[in-house]
Structure 1
């Protein structure tokens, strides 16, 4: 007969693999329905954790009253596979149901049954398999500790393989199907043992110890441990790029820490006095948290001093590994020791399933409440730094409870407590993006710093140049350098110039309000709905009054805090113009660049309506760059591409984007609009042509047929690592220049072709200069600008850039 212990451990390894894979997939599926707001995501996680807790106690009690726990375990694994299929199968119906609701709480009530049922079944697997293996264990409580280790190790593999490979190469749906198959295999592995099960072993009346201390400790360690995970992720979200790979790396390292700790206890520490081990472990978790807090302000410097590596893979992954080692890895190793240790102490020889399930329930309840309390209350009330201190103190208090029988051992925890108290009392350091410190020629001062549940909002000003920049965590929302201003003003003006009479406008991504302020200058506009996912930007926008003209106070502006895609899903309102200015698709906004999103946008446009979206050229390999253009072209039959310096704008419609030059002159001639366009040297139809590059035919010729970016195949989020190459911007810009089209194609009337050609030749020289500047060749940059000025001697924009005032 096969080895019952080894195959059971293999089954539970696969169970852990599938559980983490489901979590990654569920988050992606359900964020499309609920949105990507912190409240929606946290609520989904809470429902999942509640299901685990319910399942652990229900099936823990149930299996103690049955003589065939392997059969119950088989039923659970197969049922997990069956019930999880419901989410992708009913996903279109969920989206349709959610679209009729206007509260994420009601949406959650619709989604919860689909999530709660499989999570309850998952929660039951641990106590049931622990009960099944107790008869073959040499001592009480050892098997659950081993199962905890092997399940966590499976979770490491699931997070790693799903986050880095499966979704990238197979897509969401096929990855989900494979995960369901793994659930079935996990159950089938133990089929040989179902007919040969034996009853619960009698341990000779070994006394259960610990009383209420162990469940209380399990609750608080779950509360603090997952609460700290939220806080550490907030820190890492500021210090590291917000890519899928970055946070997959962090999740894997966190799980590796827990798995390593559980292995250490299972193999090395189980023979020692469990109460002493618990006290020391919990106290030293606080010590490592204390050390990490002292290092916290210096972590960006550590990353920036890492020797330059040519490998794009290491450029994405190595900083996350280094910061994680200093920030949380030692503490998570010790955290991994605690739960199997508690199991060893608490499990009853008479009711192993129920006691395992109850302890798991207490830990899960803490793991549910902790992240909600940390994310929604602590961060906003006392900030991330002090919140980490507070949760570290909770570990210290729990550890001290295990030393009450030996008061002399309390001296060390008291010393650590005093040190933690000193850290809490002192003024906490600001946690700032590393890019603020990176540029040696900048002298930044912080004008605004505030932590919100959705992210940390920072506004800085370079005292040397007066240029301001606004950040949400690690992402730059917008800066006031000329290059950045030109891109956002083009985004605000272009679609309104091409629409005959734009009245109703939707802005996805308010940022600091500069795009919205350009839109508000057009006289025909009657309403502007602004949807912004990050809280606090409306407050920070006050620091950009020179550029946004206080547009937040405009009576036509309706400011809405929500996920942009979720808002489109819920609203029935249609618009003449929709603009979208998200972060880079590789940095968390990939769902705003998919075919499904564009289809949703089209359904909210009036006849003749126009959609315009930010078009990045950096951090995109050739595959990703062409996929982005191809997706937009396939979604909108009529498309225009504009480039304003280093950034671009994609403009699409279901009706031809052609315009009469006289009509365009009239619209550009509105006094306020002309002044706004003049600030970016685009106030005439010929100057505007400096930014024109492609129409739909040019895009089709350049990109050809191929794959598109979709919810099922999120190419732009799961990008190839070659996207990290520093020269990608110049490669993509060269490619655009080689395929650039004649500006006169978009006009229905006569236009001075000589002027068109002159501005085209001058702007080609300018963009060639930008390529040299990107390479660090500033001499070449100046030479190309001078060449542009030989073609257009009086072009003020090139004089400005040559002087250095335009960046």
Structure 2
């Protein structure tokens, strides 16, 4: 006999089990992204292996459930085993980092062999704990279902409880645990929760069994209350097992496929930070949990035929999926940015409201299908653990196929809207099959199935018009040139007057012809300072204009890694007139891969490594500002090499800039700063990491300048002044960033702080490091490490040091002039002209950095 308080205690254990499982999943997907690269393929691999473990575990442990002496104690043993196998994560990842470079060199540049290596490691890390997790629901179902007649309601309640625990776990992993505990601490917390849950369940299982309750609790008080003991299980016959299995499989396929597609839709209108991804995931899981509760309520209505209820659920699911693209466009007013201009809390509220409006009702219907299948089979009086395990196995297997098909087949083929219509058609096909399996006369079945078949066919061949895939600024004369809805992102090329820009996910412009000078400067400024830059690596490509500029130098090898294959394709087609033959030059290798992964696993050494501009609040980008990433970059530099980290100061507050600068100081013996432009508002800055003995040779500036201009008689002072005016100061010897935290993978302060800072800037609570704030930084650098005391500038003569001072004066001139302080601006301009060979001030270029977030 199991008392009601004890049942609620056991329910709490199952809730915590779901909580820990989602914490694991979130952290595993992140960690494998760091190991294999932050690509769609890496994320899909992690999800596929994890779900495969759940599916096999559900099937295996479901078969074992009726045979064990105590299902509750076995559940506890599984939880303890999950915790122990999860600990292997630390050992296996360290082993991977040690062995992968040698294995990669052994297999060579063969994608399939490399993928097999990744699959093997992912299986070692994820499959064992996932296999054990797959057995928790069947074992708990075997224990909690007291009589066969309560399979549907108790099973659906357990499914809802565990899924809700997963939603809370996803919320904690996305918002709280990494900030409070770090990722290692969050992972250890999940392990600790599983250990505690497992030990308590083992003790309770043994206690209950010793009192003679056996595997099934006695039906003293139903959980939750419903039918009286001895009532027939059902007046309706069960659906055939084959049909139930197909519906479970198709439900998993469509549900996960739809989640992938909805996530892509939300990526077009959100900040795309760790927080917004967490909100979308939590909203979806909450909807599935509510769907299970809906199935529970429907299962209590014994007079309703299960086959009819299931048919209605499938039909409604088809309708809401088919309508969801239009619902999303209505909720976002045609792909407008959600929460534009809002502060942090208001922004999160706006994102949550939109996610709820778009996903919760459809998610409830989708989430009700699988648990309601328990009602459809209970008349055959199956063993609870066995049938739950079979349904979990079929549903999770479908989920693997659905997520892969949506992300890698349907999206690139027919886009988001077409893909959602395909999944709606799948639900309609299931309804047609249900109708056809009824014992009704043939004419009745044809009458019901024929219209649905026509609608199903229409959904498959329909190509709806009118739903835009990209927001265009009509006032600026924008028009859409090309679009790629790919597995990684939705990328577009937009014509804006005489210029064209490359945009990703609607609001992030990677660059374009409006910013040619700025994009070329990101190569020219650092390569002009290196005496002989032969081997160059680019982390990020965008339009290819920056990387193509390296071909103006006598380079021998240029390696470019761009995360998004859609960007590579569009840059090759639409920006070839400006990227200097980047895609045709035999010295260049362009890979659509994660740049950190490329850099980590190459054995090549580079004279210059250029890390492009990255949006700091975007999920995953913060990893490119970590100590671990900079340590890899330093290890890949040749003697005298330069690592160049370009920073979008118009997207960084003092807090994020200070953390990035402090992190580079922790890795590189010398860190100097170079301006990328003289813009008063849209400035970029390069932090250049080198070894301590690297110095700037002014003669190198002259040699490169004359070679680039094709004019060996150009005056040396002019060429030196052109470059040296961009030098901003020695960061490594200054104290400007000493009080900020080092950004690490375990404590990713940039990735979790930048999204908040972005919203604080919009409400006036913080400011980007531009204008006067940036001018103050330049003054602090000059005051703490004056140019004549800067060891990096030790080879410069007094006249050449004056060019450095002149650059600071010119920046102040631009800022003051912009704000109408003409008298002060004129003083700085006079100082600039006095210190340089320029007869007049350089013409201000348009304030376009190319890469920016357009909210």
Shift of 1:56: 0.7
Counterpart residue number, 1:35: 37
Shift of 1:97: 2.4
Counterpart residue number, 1:536: 566
Task: Flag the 1:251–1:412 CA change in 2: closer, same or farther, 3 A.
Answer: farther
1:229 aligned to 2:229? no
1:119 aligned to 2:130? yes
1:596 aligned to 2:634? no
1:214 aligned to 2:262? no
Counterpart residue number, 1:738: 776
Counterpart residue number, 1:654: 691
Shift of 1:453: 1.7
Counterpart residue number, 2:462: 425
Cα distance in 1 for residues equivalent to 2:29 and 2:532: 40
Counterpart residue number, 1:449: 483
1:167 aligned to 2:178? yes
* 3-state SS of paired residue (1:471): strand
* 3-state SS of paired residue (2:54): helix
Cα distance in 1 for residues equivalent to 2:803 and 2:294: 75
CA contact (8 A) 2:654 2:768 kept: no
Counterpart residue number, 2:361: 330
Counterpart residue number, 2:796: 749
* 3-state SS of paired residue (1:618): helix
Structure 1 window deviating more from structure 2 (593-602 vs 790-799): it is 790-799
Cα distance in 1 for residues equivalent to 2:26 and 2:727: 40
* 3-state SS of paired residue (1:553): coil
Q: TM-score, normalised by structure 2?
A: 0.85
Aligned to 1:80, which of 73, 77, 82?
82
Task: Flag the 1:683–1:673 CA change in 2: closer, same or farther, 3 A.
Answer: farther
Task: Flag the 1:755–1:597 CA change in 2: closer, same or farther, 3 A.
Answer: closer
CA contact (8 A) 2:655 2:740 kept: no
Shift of 1:564: 1.1
CA contact (8 A) 1:21 1:179 kept: yes
Aligned to 1:461, which of 495, 511, 535?
495
CA contact (8 A) 2:39 2:594 kept: yes
Shift of 1:17: 0.4
* 3-state SS of paired residue (1:453): coil
Task: Flag the 1:205–1:427 CA change in 2: closer, same or farther, 3 A.
Answer: closer
Aligned to 2:271, which of 235, 241, 265?
241
Structure 1 window deviating more from structure 2 (128-137 vs 54-63): it is 128-137
Task: Flag the 1:795–1:14 CA change in 2: closer, same or farther, 3 A.
Answer: farther
Structure 1 window deviating more from structure 2 (594-603 vs 393-402): it is 393-402
* 3-state SS of paired residue (1:448): strand
Task: Flag the 1:801–1:494 CA change in 2: closer, same or farther, 3 A.
Answer: closer
1:606 aligned to 2:666? no
Cα distance in 1 for residues equivalent to 2:538 and 2:327: 40
1:504 aligned to 2:535? yes
Q: Deviations over 1:445-503 (max 9, x none)?
A: 1112122222222110112xx23211232463532365x44443232123322222111
Structure 1 window deviating more from structure 2 (93-102 vs 724-733): it is 724-733
* 3-state SS of paired residue (1:85): helix
Matches within 5 A, 1:213-612: 213-267=243-297, 270-271=300-301, 272-301=304-333, 304=336, 310-315=342-347, 317-347=348-378, 349-404=381-436, 405=438, 407=444, 414=451, 418=455, 421=458, 424-428=461-465, 431-434=468-471, 436-437=472-473, 441-463=475-497, 466-474=498-506, 476=508, 478-480=510-512, 484-523=515-554, 525-541=555-571, 542-581=573-612, 583-587=614-618, 588-612=620-644
Task: Flag the 1:219–1:307 CA change in 2: closer, same or farther, 3 A.
Answer: closer
Counterpart residue number, 1:663: 700
CA contact (8 A) 2:662 2:737 kept: yes
Shift of 1:382: 2.0
Aligned to 1:620, which of 639, 652, 658?
652
Task: Flag the 1:673–1:607 CA change in 2: closer, same or farther, 3 A.
Answer: farther
Aligned to 2:146, which of 95, 116, 135?
135
Cα distance in 2 for residues equivalent to 1:136 and 1:661: 87
Shift of 1:276: 2.0
Shift of 1:787: 7.2
Structure 1 window deviating more from structure 2 (386-395 vs 722-731): it is 722-731
Aligned to 1:14, which of 13, 16, 23?
16
* 3-state SS of paired residue (1:99): helix
CA contact (8 A) 1:498 1:657 kept: no
Cα distance in 2 for residues equivalent to 1:479 and 1:282: 45
CA contact (8 A) 2:328 2:358 kept: yes
CA contact (8 A) 1:130 1:147 kept: yes
Shift of 1:307: 7.5
Shift of 1:12: 1.0
CA contact (8 A) 1:276 1:403 kept: no
Cα distance in 2 for residues equivalent to 1:161 and 1:736: 36
Task: Flag the 1:600–1:758 CA change in 2: closer, same or farther, 3 A.
Answer: closer
Shift of 1:100: 2.8
Shift of 1:383: 2.1
CA contact (8 A) 2:422 2:460 kept: no
Task: Flag the 1:485–1:279 CA change in 2: closer, same or farther, 3 A.
Answer: same
1:685 aligned to 2:720? yes
Cα distance in 2 for residues equivalent to 1:3 and 1:673: 86
> Any unmatched runs of 5+ in structure 2?
105-113, 219-228
CA contact (8 A) 1:693 1:743 kept: no
* 3-state SS of paired residue (1:586): coil
Cα distance in 2 for residues equivalent to 1:428 and 1:784: 57
Counterpart residue number, 2:70: 68
Q: Deviations over 1:168-198 (max 9, x none)?
A: 2211111111111111222234322333232
Shift of 1:782: 8.8
Aligned pair count reads 786
Task: Flag the 1:769–1:325 CA change in 2: closer, same or farther, 3 A.
Answer: farther
CA contact (8 A) 1:627 1:707 kept: yes
Task: Flag the 1:107–1:625 CA change in 2: closer, same or farther, 3 A.
Answer: same
Task: Flag the 1:185–1:485 CA change in 2: closer, same or farther, 3 A.
Answer: farther
Cα distance in 1 for residues equivalent to 2:336 and 2:509: 22
Q: Deviations over 1:295-338 (max 9, x none)?
A: 444554367487766422332x2453344244332211111211
Shift of 1:750: 1.0
Task: Flag the 1:242–1:140 CA change in 2: closer, same or farther, 3 A.
Answer: closer
Cα distance in 1 for residues equivalent to 2:507 and 2:711: 31
Aligned to 1:98, which of 85, 97, 100?
100
Task: Flag the 1:654–1:193 CA change in 2: closer, same or farther, 3 A.
Answer: same
Matches within 5 A, 1:189-208: 189-190=200-201, 191-197=203-209, 198-200=214-216, 206=233
CA contact (8 A) 1:76 1:124 kept: yes
CA contact (8 A) 1:470 1:479 kept: yes
Cα distance in 2 for residues equivalent to 1:471 and 1:305: 15
CA contact (8 A) 1:433 1:474 kept: yes
CA contact (8 A) 1:762 1:787 kept: no
Task: Flag the 1:306–1:607 CA change in 2: closer, same or farther, 3 A.
Answer: closer
Cα distance in 1 for residues equivalent to 2:320 and 2:287: 13
Cα distance in 1 for residues equivalent to 2:93 and 2:745: 12
CA contact (8 A) 1:581 1:614 kept: yes
Cα distance in 2 for residues equivalent to 1:684 and 1:342: 76
Q: TM-score, normalised by structure 1?
A: 0.90
Cα distance in 2 for residues equivalent to 1:67 and 1:37: 45
CA contact (8 A) 1:297 1:429 kept: no
> CA RMSD of the aligned region, Å?
3.3
